[in-house]
Amino acid sequence: MAGKQKSPTKKSLFEAVFKHSVEAIVILNNCDRIVEVNLAACKLFGVKKKDLLDRVIADFLTSTLDWQVMPERAEIKIRQPQGKMKLVEYSQVRDILPNYNLLTLRELSNWQRAAIAELNLHNQRAELLAEVTLKIRQSLHLKEILQTTVNEVQKILQADRVLIYQVFANGTGMSISEAVLPEFKPILEVEFPEEVFPEDYRQLYSQGRIRAIADVRSADANLAECLIEFMDEWQIKAKLIVPILQNSQAHNEVNGDRLWGLLIAHQCQATREWRDGELELMQQLANQIGIALSQAELLENLEELVAERTVKLSQANLNLEQEISDRLEAEAALRHSEEQLRLIANGLPVLIAYVDKKQHYRFNNEAYQNWLGLSPTEIYNSHLLKVHGKEEYQEIQPYVETALKGEIVTYERDLMFQDGSMHSLNVTYIPHIQEQDLVQGFFALTSDISDRKAIERMKDEFISVVSHELRTPLTSIHSSLKILATGKLGSLSSKGQRMLQIADEQTERLVRLVNNVLDLQRIQSGTIKMNKQACHTRELIVEAVQTMQTLAQEQGIRLLIEPGDFIVWADRDYIVQTLTNLLSNAIKFSPLESAVVISAVTKPQPKKLHSNSNISHITFAVQDRGQGIPQDRLESIFERFQQVDSSDSRKKGGTGLGLAICRQIVEGHGGQIWAESCWEQGSTFYFTLPELIGSDRHD
């Protein structure tokens, strides 16, 4: 039986562990002073325990570190008294007992050190890549990106020269960015001759092939003599070449990426084995440059587009400004002309208004206020009925409706002004017609013709009085001349007889003139009433022809009546007088042996529109083959004392009143009269009378 072994105390156990631990253990107080160390620690620091105790730990480290802020785990370098450095990894536990900290340290092995160095390099590269990538993403300046890349690559690879070489389309190229150590010759902006960059190399690079040459002179490198010579000039001993390919999408190329250039690292001091990590880094950077190139190209296109667009926009802006100023000018001119128009409209002694198709006033001048005693607000936008009252509106309504149908209407009426005086007004409605013949409204022009009416009345009265006074002596002169002509009062010499005949003819003419003046005046003043009844057109025509037959025969003129008979509502005597008048003119102006044709027809319809087109009319026509009437006189001959040729009165014995009387008679029947003519081919005089049809007929 084994002797009973005494189990160690916990304290002795911990002391043994502390003493034999392969890990170096250091206990620090709060002031970073060493209070306890184990054997492994003494070995690691290379000093005896007594030399360590009570010393500040930082004294044994390569760099002065503030231990209070050191992380829990990290690497540090220890300096042994003999000057030897040791890379160690430590871990720290604070306050294992109040105010005491535990530090355990372990020396790192060679492979660990190498791995860490590799890791650091890797991290550095990753950082560089991230940094360059970020720059490429952020910067839009290609030159800056390329320079950053060569600078960083040179540092990280510890290469003697790093450059970016741009390939030109003609096979040559040039170094456009460079980072080179000061002791070596710069290659920046040097153009490479075509021989040093032959087509087969270019082909390979275009496919993305990387070339890593450890020794340019070795047989493996298989470089052409001229290329080696070229490299000697720049002291190149080893080189690493990575193609920079530009994205085909940005470059509009269909077949793959385009070889834009090369990222090249040179080693000039010695030959160099390029490591995989280095190749990889160069490759990644070349890819990033490719992206940057595409971005730059896009940016360039964008800038061009922006510039183009800016030019267009500024042109458009200029045009717009011009347009605005033109429009403002036009508006100002319009306002000015509107103001002037308003001034003119207000200054005129006539009523001017615009009435829309719903019969509302849309414009009126100031005369409305003065004449009618209405304010602008009482007129504007008000219906005609409201402005004029029921009675007056009923009076003007037919004319308004005619205007809104698109016809110009003129009428006269009397109106009491606001001062109580009566005035005669002449009113004209002119329709406002827009495209597609749509009537939008009408312009109403009303002028005060009271003065003219008064003068006309005075003139008529004067003529009437004078004519009456002339008629009696004229009749007795005429009778006396007739008696003298019989020779009962003694015979006259042939010269005396001739004089007597002239006196007789002229007196007859004077009698006719006085009769005509009186006729016209009577009809115009309405002192005689038309005795209208149903009349056969044929009877009227025959009667007129019979009256004029003798005269016609004297002139050798045939009077021809066209067939056709209708019934019209007319004063027989006056219509016969009208026809006689027209026949007398036709005979007067016809050449010898010609014919005058008289007709009455229902068709063709009268040339001029009747305001009341529901009533059918018969058109009388008297056609001759005479000298004709000029176009510009066709209207005026219906005015009083109007003759085409002033000698007509002498030659033809006319008075210039016949057609004026005819017009009064025809209009008194609700008809119209007009003439059509071809110069030197003859004239036709037309007039219309209302036809009696169906139950209206009483014959």
Contacts of 55 (CB under 8 A, 6+ apart): 33, 34
Q: Which stretch binds ligand ADP (CB under 6 A): 132-140, 147-155, 385-393, 619-627?
A: 619-627
Select the residue interacting with ligand ADP from 173, 243, 441, 654 (CB under 6 A): 654
State the number of binding residues for ligand ADP (CB under 6 A). Answer: 22
Closer of 609 and 678 to ligand ADP (Cβ):
678
**Longest Cα pair distance anywhere in the chain, in angstroms?**
218
Tokens (6 digits) for 386: 């409201």
655 binds ligand ADP (CB under 6 A): yes
CB of 541: closest distance to ligand ADP in angstroms? 16
Which amino acid is residue 150, in one-letter code? V
Contact stretch for ligand ADP (CB under 6 A) within 136-144, 381-389, 549-557, 622-630:
622-630
Per-residue string for binding with ligand ADP, 571-600, x by CB under 6 A? --------------xx--x-----------
Minimum separation from the CB atom of position 521 to ligand ADP (A): 15
- 3-class SS of residue 510: helix
Three-state SS string over 357-403 comes to: CCCEEEEECCHHHHHHCCCHHHHCCCEHHHHHHHHHHHHHHHHHHHH
**CB-nearer residue toward ligand ADP: 235 or 649:** 649
Q: What is the nearest approach in angstroms of ligand ADP to the Cβ of residue 665?
A: 13
d(CA 427, CA 28): 124
User: How many angstroms separate the CA atoms of 251 and 257, rounded?
Assistant: 9
Nearer to ligand ADP, 171 or 656 (CB): 656
The token duo for 588 is 């007067």
- Residue 646 Rama label (left phi>0; alpha psi -120 to 50; beta): alpha
Q: In angstroms, what is the minimal distance from the CB of 640 to ligand ADP?
A: 8
Q: 697 Cβ partners below 8 Å, 6+ apart?
A: 534, 567
637 in contact with ligand ADP (CB under 6 A): yes
Q: Nearest distance from residue 583's CB to ligand ADP, in Å?
A: 9
Q: Which residue is nearest to ligand ADP (CB)?
A: 654
Nearest CB to ligand ADP, comparing residues 272 and 588: 588
| Choices 53-61, 246-254, 398-406, 649-657; region in contact with ligand ADP by CB under 6 A | 649-657
For position 658 contacting ligand ADP by CB under 6 A, the verdict is: yes
Options 18-26, 473-481, 650-658, 690-698: segment touching ligand ADP (CB under 6 A): 650-658
Nearest-angstrom CA–CA distance, 582 and 673? 11
Indicate whether 519 belongs to the interface with ligand ADP (CB under 6 A): no
* Alpha carbon distance 178, 165 (integer Å): 9
Question: For ligand ADP, which is the closer residue by CB, 206 or 643?
Answer: 643
Within 10 A of 345 (CB to CB), how many other CB atoms are there?
17
Minimum CB separation of residue 516 from ligand ADP in Å reads 8
Integer Cα distance of 610 and 624 in angstroms: 26
Provide the Cα torsion 516, 519, 522, 524; round to 10°.
-70
The span of 38-46, 148-156, 556-564, 623-631 binding ligand ADP (CB under 6 A) equals: 623-631
List phi, psi (to 5°) of 30. Answer: -65, -15
**Rounded to the nearest whole angstrom, what is the least distance from the CB of residue 511 to ligand ADP in the complex?**
14
* 517 near ligand ADP, judged by CB under 6 A: no
Binding residues for ligand ADP, rule: CB under 6 A, are 585-586, 589, 624, 626-627, 629, 637, 642-645, 648-649, 654-660, 683
